[in-house]
């Protein structure tokens, strides 16, 4: 299977000094990959490098073909006081598909209506974005990304600051979108429990520990991989069909 994007022995970072070197990672078309690590550990840098926003500082980034990307930024980076409706926010995702000098037309509005329906907020189109709950705003931003008809949906901390119910709701939406097919999901999270029941693969990254490791969900939830990430023994337990991560009290790695 041809990957949408691949890093080969890549060095990633800003300025002149890489945060990490020797990173190899491929994102196939059916992937649901979550990049997990502490705040400031290099997660967003890796995401932006995969998306081509940041150039590699060594090694190679390979993208076999033109790649349609839908990007969902962190919610706190989006002005919640835009004087715009939900539909007006979501139609921003169509702008790169609209010819210069042309306004969005019926097909664009149909695509936006379909995107809002896919994330379960078809009835909120006329509502002001600023009046929405945190979970509804996030769904609107996901719909904006879907309106671009992406092959790859990239999300940066999509559940940050949410209460547990809204976090589960958002992750359920992402899982449903992925299961529809024809869409790879690539997301960043500092909360392993937010993705442990949804992603098919995990990548652990922490520049302070010089850690980068990627593998299947089962491999990455092993005691060895989790011990590398947390620096102490960690137990994964399944309760009511969901995985929970428990660092062992009083233990050191």
Question: Is residue 236 helix, strand or coil?
Answer: strand
Q: Taking a C-beta distance cutoff of 8 angstroms, is the pair 128, 82 a contact?
A: no
Partners of 72 in beta bridges: 155
Tokens of 58: 């060594």
**Tens-digit pLDDT profile for residues 103-115:** 778 899 999 999 9
Q: Mean pLDDT per 10-residue run, the chain (253 residues)?
A: 91 91 96 95 96 96 92 73 87 78 81 95 94 90 94 94 89 94 93 93 96 95 92 87 81 52
Q: How many CB atoms lie within 10 A of CB 250?
A: 7
Rounded distance, CA 55 to CA 199, Å?
26
Q: What is the pLDDT of residues 168-179, one digit of tens each?
A: 999 999 999 999
Walk me through the domains of the chain, giving residue ranges and CATH numbers.
1-67+151-253 (3.40.50.300), 75-150 (no CATH)
Straight-line distance from the first to the last Cα atom of the chain, in angstroms, rounded to the nearest whole number? 38
Is residue 36 within 8 Å of 190, Cβ to Cβ? yes
């Amino acid at each position: 299977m041809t990957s949408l994007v691949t890093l080969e022995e890549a060095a990633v970072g800003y300025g002149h000094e890489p945060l990490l070197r020797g990173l190899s990672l491929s994102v196939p078309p059916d992937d649901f990959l979550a990049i997990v690590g502490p705040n400031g550990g290099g997660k967003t840098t890796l995401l932006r490098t995969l998306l081509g926003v940041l150039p590699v500082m060594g090694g190679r980034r390979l993208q076999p073909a033109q790649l349609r990307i839908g990007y969902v930024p962190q919610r706190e980076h989006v002005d919640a006081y835009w004087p715009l409706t939900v539909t007006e926010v979501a139609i921003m995702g169509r702008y790169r598909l609209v010819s210069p000098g042309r306004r969005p037309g019926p097909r664009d509005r149909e695509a936006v209506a379909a995107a809002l329906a896919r994330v379960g907020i078809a009835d909120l189109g006329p509502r002001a974005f600023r009046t929405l709950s945190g979970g509804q705003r996030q769904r609107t931003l996901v719909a904006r990304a879907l309106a671009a008809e992406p092959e790859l949906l990239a999300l940066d901390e999509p559940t940050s600051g949410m209460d547990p119910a809204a976090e589960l709701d958002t992750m359920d939406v992402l899982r449903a979108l992925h299961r529809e097919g024809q869409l790879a999901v690539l997301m960043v999270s500092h909360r392993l429990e937010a993705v442990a029941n949804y992603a098919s693969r995990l990548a652990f990254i922490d520049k302070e520990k010089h850690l980068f490791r990627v593998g299947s969900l089962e491999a990455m939830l092993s005691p060895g991989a989790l011990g590398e990430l947390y620096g102490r023994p960690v137990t994964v337990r399944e309760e009511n069909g969901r995985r929970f991560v428990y660092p062992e009290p009083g233990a050191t790695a």
